[in-house]
Amino acid sequence: MTPLLSVSQLSVAYGGIQAVRNLSLDVAQGEMVCLIGANGAGKTTTLKALSGLIAAQSGSIQLDGQPLSGLPAHAIARRGMALVPEGRGVFPRMSVAENLMMGAYIRTDRAAIAHDLDQVYSLLPRLTERRAQPAGLLSGGEQQMLALGRAMMARPRLLLLDEPSMGLAPLMVQAVFDIIRRIAASGVAVLLIEQNAHLALKTCARGYVLETGMITLSGNATELAANPAVRHAYLGEA
């Protein structure tokens, strides 16, 4: 079976700086996969290249066997890939409800959109109370939830998450990861990027380790978590 997302030999550079080098990974239908790595390893760069926000230097990206290379970000979004960017990227001057509706911008099936909106509100009750508030006034955790809810409104097949735990208190991280697990349980494939390797490996079935733009390790999450090199570098053990 062809994987939902298949990336091979992806390289990305900023001017002369090589940020990602010959990266290959894949995500199967409905699978949860994580990509872990330290600051500056190239995690965000990888996701930006996948979603079309920056152009890749070389390599191929396929969604469901269809090549995505060279497509602009809006065309890739229309094919079923949703990115929750680093720092959430909510529209600060739009209300919570309007933000959620922006997620469904590409859809025209009104009845199904209304249904999904109800689903999102019941999954994220904190947003229900704040639906008329400008998104810029929400707390960081609430903004992360809003960004997740907005991505769900697109009914994506693949969800890319860039460090959803960043800057959140431990309880809020738990709440956000609960939501991510529930989204995945509904059949959406997830590629999760995290610095919090412990949490990422606990949540996902498989993982990749990115170091200075290259994948150095990959495999089953429990095996990775047991790997001495990973334990030393990312799980804070000697």
Partner 1 sequence: MALGMLIERVAYRPLRNAPRLAPLITAIGVSIILQNIAMLIWGKQYIPFPAILPQGRHDILGATISDTQIAILLLALLIMLALILMVQKSRLGRAMRATAQSRQVASLMGIDVNRVIASTFIIGSALAAIAGVMVSAYYGLAHYYMGFLLGLKAFSAAVLGGIGNLGGAMLGGLLLGLIESFGAGYIGDLTGGFLGSHYQDVFAFFVLIAVLVFRPQGLLGARVVERA
Ligand X SMILES: Nc1ncnc2c1ncn2[C@@H]1O[C@H](COP(=O)(O)OP(=O)(O)OP(=O)(O)O)[C@@H](O)[C@H]1O
Q: Which residues bind partner 1 (CB under 8 A)?
A: 51-53, 72-74, 77-78, 82-83, 85, 89-94, 98, 101-103, 105-106, 134, 136-140, 143, 150, 154
Q: Where does this chain touch ligand X (CB under 6 A) — which range of 43-51, 66-74, 112-120, 174-182?
A: 43-51
* Chain residue whose CB lies nearest Mg ion: 44
Q: Which residues are CB-contacts of 228 (< 8 A; sequence separation ≥ 6)?
A: none
Across 124-174, where does the E strand assignment appear? 158-162
Judged by CB under 6 A, which of 6, 44, 165, 196 binds ligand X?
44
Cα–Cα distance between 82 and 51 in angstroms, integer? 8
Contact letters for ligand X, residues 180-209 (x by CB under 6 A): ---------------x--------------
Taking phi over 0 as left and psi of -120 to 50 as alpha, with beta for the rest, 176 belongs to alpha
Amino acid letter for position 57:
Q
Cα–Cα distance between 141 and 169 in angstroms, integer? 8
Residue 85, token pair as written in the block: 């960017």
First to last CA, the chain: 40
Judged by CB under 6 A, which of 3, 21, 33, 43 binds ligand X?
43
Cα–Cα distance between 119 and 115 in angstroms, integer? 6
Q: Which is nearer to Mg ion, 40 or 219 (CB)?
A: 40
Selection from ligand X, Mg ion, partner 1, none that 136 binds (CB < 5 to 8 A by kind) is partner 1
| Residue 40 engages ligand X in binding (rule: CB under 6 A) | yes
Binding site for Mg ion (CB under 5 A): 43-44, 86
Binding site for ligand X (CB under 6 A): 14, 17, 19, 37, 39-45, 86, 195
